[in-house]
Amino acid sequence: MSQYGNDSTADTTYQEKPEVKSREKKRRDRKTGWVIFGFLAPAMAFYFLYVVFAIFMTVYYSVFEWSGIDDDMNFIGFQNYLTMFADGAFWQSVGNNFLLVFSSLFTQLPLGLIMALMLFSPIKGIRFFRSIYFMPFLMSTVAIGILFTYIYDPTYGLVNEFLRAVGLGNFTRGWLGNEATAIWAIIVVVIWQFAPFYMILFRAAIVGIPEDLYEAADIDGATPWQRFTNVTLPLLMPTIITSSILSVIGALKYFDLIYVMTGGGPNNSTHLMATYMYDHAFSHFNMGYGSGISFSMFIIALIATIFILWFDRRRKGEF
């Protein structure tokens, strides 16, 4: 570094003035370059090793037949992907993932919005309500999964106890042991866990809406519903878009809850791509195939994000 410095100062003495300036500037730029590198390098090192490099390695591993615990790697081209396309359990997991994505979008977000609006309504002790509303988000997903396993328990579970208490004893069942109900039982828990998160996002956005817009609406004689559809909702649109991205990406990432509550069963009916991938890579030690599945997850997450951003562009263009 200092070598460069010496060289250029030695040269500059013979140059005309503007030249001197640009040389001097170049020298400073080069020094700044090193400074920038110094600040960024440690974070970049972690990020490249564990994220960027890892994604490329996933692609690489996905073209091998490989257990992952020995050196016996067998190049098989796209065979893992072909197997995947013909694998019914894989498609079931993709279907469940999409079910989760849509239920997230159309229940978590509206519920989060309703909860956020509640926080601005004239209710006494709203701070207390807010504190409780937010609590599900604080528990670890593993703890939530275990807790709800007991709540859904066929014999002493809270859900069945409640149904018996209100005279709906016929509806009691083993919610998680039943192929028809298991995925829905899990989706309810996911909603329970994440609605508070969107409540916080919407609350922050509503706080940011300028008060005079509401005053103007009042002068125009707007009803509360009109205030909501003409002022609140349009101004919340950017938050709704980012929340959608977060909820779609989040839904594609779900793992902990399924792993703890059902392990993908009964009969693969609750597998998500993440749990299915884990099953192959780390339970059956088929890491080549597992890598194929996880790279597909990456592609789907990418497409989903691009789609939402495109949708947002189009919406902005039309209004």
Name residues contacting other proteins, limited to 196-255 (CB under 8 A).
Answer: 196-197, 200-201, 203-204, 239, 242-243, 245-246, 249, 252-253, 255
In angstroms, give the least distance from the CB of 193 to other proteins: 10
| 282 is a site residue for other proteins (CB under 8 A) | yes
In angstroms, give the least distance from the CB of 273 to other proteins: 8
Whichever of 139 and 168 has its CB closer to other proteins, that residue is 139
| 181 is a site residue for other proteins (CB under 8 A) | no
Stretch that binds other proteins, among 7-15, 32-40, 70-78, 84-92 (CB under 8 A): 32-40
Whichever of 187 and 281 has its CB closer to other proteins, that residue is 281
| 263 is a site residue for other proteins (CB under 8 A) | no
In the list 94, 113, 259, 269, the residue contacting other proteins (rule: CB under 8 A) is: 259
Assess contact for 113 and 121: CB atoms under 8 A.
Answer: no
Assess contact for 114 and 129: CB atoms under 8 A.
Answer: no
> What's phi and psi for 254, nearest 5 deg?
-55, 135
Tokens representing 187 are: 């989706």
Stretch that binds other proteins, among 86-94, 102-110, 121-129, 211-219 (CB under 8 A): 121-129
Q: Give the integer Cα–Cα distance in Å for 217 and 215.
A: 5
Whichever of 146 and 180 has its CB closer to other proteins, that residue is 146
In angstroms, give the least distance from the CB of 283 to other proteins: 11
| 19 is a site residue for other proteins (CB under 8 A) | no
Stretch that binds other proteins, among 77-85, 86-94, 210-218, 296-304 (CB under 8 A): 296-304
| 101 is a site residue for other proteins (CB under 8 A) | no
Q: Give the integer Cα–Cα distance in Å for 80 and 142.
A: 31
Stretch that binds other proteins, among 78-86, 179-187, 213-221, 301-309 (CB under 8 A): 301-309
Strand, helix or coil for residue 75: strand
Q: Give the integer Cα–Cα distance in Å for 62 and 79.
A: 9
The b-or-e profile of 208-224 (16+ CB within 10 A means b, else e) is eeeeeeeeebeeeebee
In the list 9, 54, 82, 311, the residue contacting other proteins (rule: CB under 8 A) is: 54
The gap between the terminal CA atoms of the chain, to the nearest Å, is 54
Q: Give the integer Cα–Cα distance in Å for 217 and 220.
A: 5
Peptide bond into 42 cis (omega under 30): no
Site string for other proteins, 61-80 (x = CB under 8 A): x------x------------
In angstroms, give the least distance from the CB of 86 to other proteins: 22
Q: What's the helix, strand, coil split of the chain in %, to 5?
A: 75, 0, 25
Q: What is the identity of the amino acid at 102? A: F
